[in-house]
């Protein structure tokens, strides 16, 4: 976890364009956006996979989803948005610190 890029962003060791932060999560702009709006919601606790969920993590993830919903308009997502959690090889997960992609700002193609 020492060389985890998202842990470094959370610690402020690597710059990011943060749009929201609280004790449990940070939301910042994806460096390589695949939609007009592409944000990453990252729990501050380091873990990689949904298989590692315990009750506390489930609760925090639920609160993260509720927070994303409450920030919808502020983030420019009032026309709709998509949440994506890549898990493992086949999904192309490249950062092994659990994160929720938030995509929107335009009509999103379905597929892939
Ligand atoms: P995933 O492929 O689901 O693991 O998503 C990782 C995402 O992190 C990719 O969309 C990358 O573009 C994004 N990413 C990697 N490094 C950074 C960074 N330093 N700042 C912002 N986003 C990043
Ligand atoms: Zn991490």
Residue extents of the structural domains in the chain: 5-80+90-104
Q: Please name which ligand lies nearest the alpha carbon of 13.
A: 1
Q: What is the pLDDT of residue 45?
A: 98
Give me ligand 2 centre to Cα 2, in Å: 8
Contact 38, 30 (CB under 8 A): yes
Q: What is the pLDDT of residue 2?
A: 75
Cα–Cα separations (whole angstroms), residue 26 to 20, 55, 64: 6, 20, 9
Contact 67, 20 (CB under 8 A): yes
Mutate to test the pocket of ligand 1, among 48, 93, 95 (most ligand atoms within 8 A of CB): 95
| C-beta of 34 in contact with ligand 1 (< 6 A) | no
Q: Dump pLDDT digits (tens) for 12-57.
A: 999 999 999 999 999 999 999 999 999 999 999 999 999 999 999 9
Q: Dump pLDDT digits (tens) for 47-104.
A: 999 999 999 999 999 999 999 999 999 999 999 999 999 999 999 999 999 999 999 9
CATH superfamily of 5-80+90-104: HIT-like (3.30.428.10)
- Is 99 considered catalytic here? yes
Coil, strand or helix at 39 = strand
């Amino acid at each position: 976890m020492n060389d985890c890029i998202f842990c470094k962003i959370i610690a402020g060791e690597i710059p990011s364009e943060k749009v929201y932060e609280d004790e449990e999560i940070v939301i910042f702009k994806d460096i390589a956006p695949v939609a007009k709006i592409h944000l990453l919601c990252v729990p501050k606790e380091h873990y990689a996979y949904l298989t590692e969920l315990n009750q506390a993590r489930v609760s925090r993830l639920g609160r993260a989803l509720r927070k994303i919903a409450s920030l919808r308009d502020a983030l420019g997502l009032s026309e709709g948005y998509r949440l994506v959690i890549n898990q493992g090889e086949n999904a192309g997960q490249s950062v092994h610190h659990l994160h929720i992609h938030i995509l929107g700002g335009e009509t999103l193609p379905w597929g892939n």
